[in-house]
Amino acid sequence: MSSSRATLASAAGVAFFGGATFVSTGSTRTGNLRATASTASASAPAAPEANVAGLAVASVAVATCFASRKAGTSTRQLVTLTAFENELGVQAPVGFWDPAGFTADGSTENFARRRQTELKHGRISMLATMGYITPEITGKFPGYLSPSAGLKFADVPNGLAAISKVPAAGWGQILAYMAFCEVSQDQSAGTPAAAGDFGFKVLTASDPEAKKTKLAAELANGRLAMMAIIGMFFQDGLTGSAWGDWANYTASPLRAFENELGVQAPVGFWDPAGFTADGSTENFARRRQTELKHGRISMLATMGYITPEITGKFPGYLSPSAGLKFADVPNGLAAISKVPAAGWGQILAYMAFCEVSQDQSAGTPAAAGDFGFKVLTASDPEAKKTKLAAELANGRLAMMAIIGMFFQDGLTGSAWGDWANYTASPLRAFENELGVQAPVGFWDPAGFTADGSTENFARRRQTELKHGRISMLATMGYITPEITGKFPGYLSPSAGLKFADVPNGLAAISKVPAAGWGQILAYMAFCEVSQDQSAGTPAAAGDFGFKVLTASDPEAKKTKLAAELANGRLAMMAIIGMFFQDGLTGSAWGDWANYTASPLR
């Protein structure tokens, strides 16, 4: 089978067994902040009463295909996953927040270990944050930090700069104190110290409720402090201080180039990538020289695109020997293929002349962009500065403009103009196809159709239709049993498996008998091989002759197929969302408060 058929086979299994069986009988359990495991024999429960309504065609097909399996019982281990929603640190309005899914395994041991680490980091961060702030408010201690080294407290700068001032003996004392804090208490699992209680009753309390309140506040403050100290480190590293008026940070590397050419309001000196963070004037000058050259080339290239459109092209021959007229050379990227080899040689020779005809070593006028063309610069220093600043700004704009022109030219065949005129663009080839809807129109951000191949488009459209149909069936397979209930009786009489025994969603996968999987695969194979789906056939376009889904009238069929495409796209998003929610919560919808058995609780 083709790869699209293999994809169809994979997804259709979910769709068809979902159509009839995706329902669970929910039970409510309350997490007790302990993980317990029990082993029980899982026999087929009695079928609950259910109202049966008409289901989709897929549901009926699946009900048939699940009809046989040997009777038997299975033994499974039921693990009561615990909740962490009542632990310290859970605060409104977010509640229990674990976007990275660290607690998804439900392990209380892992949770306790991470909580212990969080407490330590939070406490250290609170001390570090206060260590930044306090000397600014209260001043520093009088006297000597190290009398033997003649180092006063007043000599130690605030922030990161203090690291280089701490004597070796000071680092030894710091490490010794940290070691004492770690080894002076038994911090093994289940001990008070493991939960953060080191017996300092100023920070905790003898009263359990008061201690709980204080520890919750400590967690919240520690989290805030972890964010604060990281922010202070960054600001300190960039500005030389962790706070204050930016105007005071005259020694920051970021201030070194604020008066250079190209610094303009309202952005000012803008270097989000941090290229100038090292404060190197040599590196800055080298990059400025490169920026000037790129800007000048881009301005020439931009004008080279625009000028021929406005003024027309030169008369006569570009290459008399080749019989090539200027009028024969198209505008834009298409001109590349028209330039004779001798022309490329002349272009390269001129570029080499510009590079070697001037001394561009560091500190020379040419290194700063002054090649002696006084039309572009000026003898007057102030006038020259103004023109060079304007040249930088125009060059930056031209660099953006020429890249935009390249992209538009490559996609449309021209770098500007009314989109309606670009009838030859590959992007216009599929604008009247099914699935093109307002307000987006034909939308292909990944550029799959940029090659203009109708064969590739038809193949992808065929695949899209199949995936959309499977996703619609699968989505209804999730929803329908919740609304109408399940079929009465047995899904597999020989296995003693009732429809009511099959849970809804992903959990149903483990319940499908082997014979059922065989029937699902056989039905999918039938759908694939019972029609001629080669290029150009009705089936290749999605018409399998089911006139309920299509129509004999061409216009009615077009409308229905367009709606089917739109609904299929929505269903593909919906079923993926359901899979994720089901995997995380145990159900594809409903009130989060009901999912007490989820690992996230």
Annotated binding site: 97, 118, 121, 123, 182, 218, 221, 223, 235
Q: Which two tokens stand for residue 300?
A: 């020439």
DSSP 486: P
Q: Exposed/middle/buried for 291, CB within 10 Å: 0-12, 13-18, 19+?
A: middle
**Nearby residues of 490 by Cβ (< 8 Å), 6 or more positions away:** 496, 497, 498, 499
Q: Quote the distance between the C-alpha of residue 559 and its chain's center.
A: 35
Q: Pull the structure tokens for residue 311.
A: 């003024």
Q: Please state the residue numbers annotated as binding site for chlorophyll a.
A: 97, 118, 121, 218, 221, 223, 235
CA distance 81 to 598: 7
Distances (CA, A) of 377 to 285, 286, 299, 301, 380: 18, 20, 16, 20, 9
With 0-12 / 13-18 / 19 or more C-beta atoms within 10 angstroms meaning exposed / middle / buried, residue 306 is middle
Task: Give dist(CA 456, CA 472) in Å, integer.
Answer: 24
77 φ/ψ angles, rounded to the nearest 5 degrees: -100, 125
* In the block, residue with structure tokens 């770690």: 182
How far apart are alpha carbons 446 and 435 in whole angstroms?
16
Per the CB < 8 A criterion, the answer to whether 295 and 268 are in contact is no
Sign of the Cα pseudo-torsion (535, 536, 538, 542, in order):
positive
Render 72-114 in DSSP notation, one character per residue. --EEEEEEE----TTSTT-BTTTBS--TT-TTTT--HHHHHHH
Task: Report CA Rg, the chain.
Answer: 36
Name every residue whose Cβ is closer than 8 Å to that of residue 497 and which is 6 or more positions away in sequence.
Answer: 44, 66, 69, 490, 491, 511, 513
Q: Look up residue 51 and give its two tokens.
A: 């109202």
> Quick check: helix, strand or coil at residue 520?
helix
Task: Show the tokens assigned to 565.
Answer: 């495409």
CA–CA distance from 24 to each of 56, 504, 514 (Å)?
19, 4, 21
CA 96 → CA 102, 208, 328, 578, 600, distances in Å? Answer: 12, 22, 69, 21, 9
Give the 3-state secondary structure of residue 592. Answer: helix
Measured between alpha carbons, how far is 412 from 427 in angstroms, rounded to an integer? 7
Determine the Cα–Cα distance for residues 496 and 44; give it in Å rounded to an integer.
Answer: 7
- Annotation: binding site for chlorophyll b: 123, 182
Total count of residues recorded for the chain: 601
- Extract the tokens encoding 5: 């058929």
The reply to whether omega before 253 is within 30° of 0 (cis) is no
The rounded distance, in Å, linking the Cα atoms of 276 and 274 is: 5
φ, ψ at 39 (rounded to 5°): -110, 130
The encoded tokens of residue 75 equal 């033994």
